Amino acid sequence: MDELVEVFRVQVQQRNYQGAREMMEELLEIQTKELGEDHLSVVNSLECIVMVLKRQGNLTEALKTLERVLEIQSKRLGENHIDTANTYKRIGELSVEQGDGEKAEEMFRKALDIKLEILPGDHAEVTDLYHVLSGLLQGHGKFAQAKKMQKVLLATLLQMHGEDHPAVVKAYQGIAGLLTKQNRLDDAIQMADKSIEICSRLQGRRGFDKTAMAGALLCKSKCLQLQGNLDGATELLTKLLVILKEINGNDLPTALTYEDLALAYVGQDMTDDAIKAYAKAIQIRKTLYGANGHPLIQEHMTTLQVLKREKKAKALHKQGRVAMKKAKGDSEKAMRLFREAMGIYEEIIPPHPNVDTASDNISALYVDMAAAFEMFSDAKVKQGLLEDAITASATALKFRRRTLGDDHIDTKRRMDAHRSLLQRLLENRG
């Protein structure tokens, strides 16, 4: 039997999951014959098969096998046993993956009831189940039940430990997450601030886990982003990165924070900083998953190229403004630069990570383009080239309408100027 177990481990390491499954099924058959169907050694083999089935993506068979594990454990160990509770939890997790929320809720509740019987109310396995169950309830819109569960947990922890305890920090964060999903952002920030305040008191104490502060900063930063307070979110995300690098180095949470930071930078029109943050996230994901090992890598690569193109468009826009100041009545260079910038914006708008920010930049460009075409039109009038002046005036009017609307005083002035040019042309021809 030991030889079969060793071969199984090798097969799993080599990702030969079918071979590993066949090996464990062979061992299971031997155990069943020698020890009986309900022996606890059979449970170990079944759990190995569950692991392989999950890695193969065969969740239906994995769930059936895990239910067989539960049947044996309930019979041999009884319902009120930690292993039985853990199996209920695992069935709940598989049910979530299969989209069966009702069954998942039932399994998580059973696991929680058992653990509350045999473990202290502040035990990590108990508090974890409170959070898992609350998250599931939130996902199904059962906010009242989720809130009740979070409040029960918080009250228990406060009674046992007072406020200055890591588990209390996480409980406040759980409530903040719930309030965020209900769009009660001010209340959520209040809970996140409470969490940060406790972490600040706990810092430096023996055994303090920095992940508690990381969770608090992340929670508040998401609320601030949703409120549009990107400066505040950026400040918190920058602090969060420092902590995550200390805890995990360049791991997935660090990559995710770089991605959040990049989006905050984009929202503030800080393209250079956004490019750097996305590049860091891509580098970490490539290290973790390989160059093509995760779909977000290619997505971020595309976003990075879009931002680099936007950076070029901004540079052209800036050059155009400089050219206008130096134009001395001839804005042709500015118009050419503005048109090139506009061509880039038209190319990148659909895939841009923040269309609102890009649209604001385009609006600013429209304003300058209108001014450039007006300047060009005036220059052509002085040269006596009325047809060229009218063409430029019509383009300027188009940009005024796009940015200001027909009722704005500047649009009306341009309309009057355009009519005047048309009248002069008709008079000259008459």
DSSP state of 24: H
Note every long-range contact of 139-147, with CB atoms under 8 Å and residues 24 or more positions apart, other chains counting.
139/101, 140/101, 140/105, 143/178, 143/181, 143/182, 146/178, 147/175, 147/178
Nearest to 77 by CA among 126, 129, 116, 38: 38
Helix (H) or strand (E) holding 141: none
Is there a domain that residue 162 lies in?
no
336 lies in a domain? yes
Q: How far apart are CA 193 and CA 195, in angstroms?
A: 5
Evaluate whether residue 95 is within a structural domain: no
pLDDT value, residue 8? 64
pTM of the predicted model as reported, rounded to 2 decimal places: 0.70
Is 38 inside a domain boundary?
no
CA distances from 308 to 117, 258, 270, 344, 345 (A): 58, 17, 12, 10, 11
Q: Does the residue 413 lie in any domain?
A: yes
**Crossing angle for the helix pair 82-97 and 101-118, to the nearest 10 degrees:** 160
Total residues found in the chain within this entry: 430
Distance CA 56, CA 328 (A): 71
Residue 77 is classified by DSSP as: T
Q: How far is residue 237's CA from residue 118's CA, in Å, rounded to a whole number?
A: 39
| Full pLDDT tens readout for the chain, 430 residues | 556 566 566 666 667 778 777 777 777 777 778 777 777 778 888 888 888 888 888 889 999 999 999 999 999 999 999 999 999 999 999 999 889 999 999 999 999 999 999 999 888 899 989 999 998 998 888 989 998 999 999 998 998 889 998 889 989 999 999 999 889 999 999 999 999 999 999 887 877 788 889 999 999 999 999 999 999 999 999 999 999 999 888 898 999 999 999 999 999 999 999 999 999 999 999 998 888 777 888 889 999 999 999 999 999 999 998 988 886 656 788 889 998 999 998 898 888 888 888 888 888 999 899 988 888 888 888 888 889 889 988 988 998 998 889 999 989 999 999 899 999 888 887 6
In a domain, 411, yes or no: yes
Specify the amino acid at residue 430: G
| C-alpha to C-alpha distance for 417 and 32, rounded to whole angstroms | 95
Tell me, yes or no, whether 93 lies in a domain.
no
Residue 54: per-residue pLDDT: 85
Any idea what the CATH number is for the domain that residue 425 is in? Answer: 1.25.40
| Domain residue limits at 376 | 312-354+363-429
**What pLDDT shows up at residue 193?**
96
In a domain, 323, yes or no: yes
How many domains does the chain contain in total? 1
- Quote the pLDDT of residue 325: 84
- Give pLDDT, residue 186: 95
| Per-residue confidence (pLDDT) for residue 274, from 0 to 100 | 94
Residue 184 burial by Cβ neighbours in a 10 Å radius (0-12, 13-18, 19+): middle
Alpha-carbon span 249 to 247, nearest angstrom: 6
